[in-house]
Amino acid sequence: MNDVAARPAQSWKVTLPCTRAEAEALDGDIALFVAMDQPPVLMTSEAGADDDAWRLDAYFEGEPDPAAVQLLRDLIPSAAATEPQIEKLPDEDWVTLSQQGLEPVTAGRFHVRNRAADPEEAGHVNFLIEAGRAFGTGQHETTAGCLIMLDRMRRIGMRFGNVADIGTGTGLLAFAALHLWPRAYATASDIDPVAVAISRENAMTNGMPVGHGIGQVALYTAAGVDHPAIEQRAPYDLLIANILAGPLIELAPSLCALIEDGGTLLLAGLLREQADEVLAAYRAQGMRLAERADRGDWPTLRLRKRPRIGWKRPQRIDRSARGEAPGFGTL
């Protein structure tokens, strides 16, 4: 049974107005809530015709105490003078209620539904990723940008045999990569064990085999790449990291160390104004920018690792190469 759908019906919702920038900053894990036994589920949505008028709805199990409400207010500086709306929800499936209005997303060849009731899209690869439980449903520009970039990489003939998705969230990007390169090994990890459990459920829902062999996705709970199995399954010829700019910069050495010479790194989760700083961190690790695609304020960066001879001696990349790294099977 879906563990979230089985939660007690006595749930509460706290609502605050916010700006679009504040709403986008709330994607992913919120450090202020990590110490809570049952952190709230945060949902953001547009609140009106004004592009900068957004709303935060926080769903709690049980009545939130003043400290929890204050934590929410701390996340939304623009609402400092606004009294939050606090309401007890009726005996209904509040997760379903919170998802009402979410539309399916089409990104490249992929069509991502957040509700089983929505029809599949003919001529597309369809995934069902329920919203509200982990980041990475396809709704956010960063996830959609990664899907489009993966699709483009396959269309131009790039081939991979060993793929990793670090900070996988719902597992969606790992599933998409495995569909594009079905003879690859796939590794997906997240720091949140709940996200890993959700990824496992999503794999079953979408017919993606879980395991450690070719054409299967192996799931791990890990902070970054700090897990023996993730290191043992390296080197990767394609590594995806759709997280935030700060962690991307911090993880640059460890991520790049696991990429095969000539391999590809896909980065997302950063804002446009953060791109230069993120790129600088990865250039210092021997990466070069091969392609950039912006969706609104959110760029997706495709980088390649410069082959090296001897100790940190860069070598020019063969521009005719198709993206595969040696040692792994291709399609």
Q: 62 labelled as ligand-binding?
A: no
pLDDT digits (tens, 9 = 90+) for 111-133: 998 888 888 989 999 999 886 54
Residues 95 and 45 both lie in one domain? yes
Report the CATH number that the domain containing residue 281 is assigned in CATH: 3.40.50.150
Short-list 44, 224, 250, 59, CA closest to 141: 44
Query: Which pair of tokens denotes residue 218?
Result: 């192996």
Any domain includes 324: no
Q: 242 labelled as ligand-binding?
A: yes
What are the C-alpha distances in Å from 84 to residues 58, 81, 89, 118, 276?
11, 9, 15, 33, 37
Any domain includes 326: no
pLDDT digits (tens, 9 = 90+) for 67-118: 889 988 988 999 888 999 998 876 544 444 444 445 678 888 999 988 888 8
The percentage of the chain sitting over the pLDDT mark of 90, rounded to a whole number, equals: 48
Residue that is last in its domain, among 99, 120, 145 = 99
Report the CATH number that the domain containing residue 23 is assigned in CATH: 3.30.70
Q: How far apart are CA 13 and CA 160, in angstroms?
A: 44
Residues 241 and 296 both lie in one domain? yes
- 203 neighbors 180 (Cβ within 8 angstroms): no
Q: 327 labelled as ligand-binding?
A: no
Tell me the average pLDDT across 264-275.
Answer: 92
User: Quick one: pLDDT at residue 195?
Assistant: 86
Does pLDDT of 314 surpass 70? no
* Total structural domains within the chain: 2
Partners of residue 44 on adjacent β-strands:
56
Residues 81 and 188 both lie in one domain? no
Strand boundaries in the chain, DSSP class E: 11-18, 41-46, 54-61, 85-88, 105-107, 110-113, 125-128, 162-166, 185-190, 217-221, 236-242, 259-268, 287-295, 298-305
Q: How many CA atoms lie within 13 A of 229 on its CB side?
A: 16
Q: 143 labelled as ligand-binding?
A: yes
Instruction: Please report, for the chain, how many H helices and E strands are present, in that order.
Output: 9, 14
| Residue 285 DSSP symbol | T
Does pLDDT of 151 surpass 70? yes
Residues 247 and 169 both lie in one domain? yes
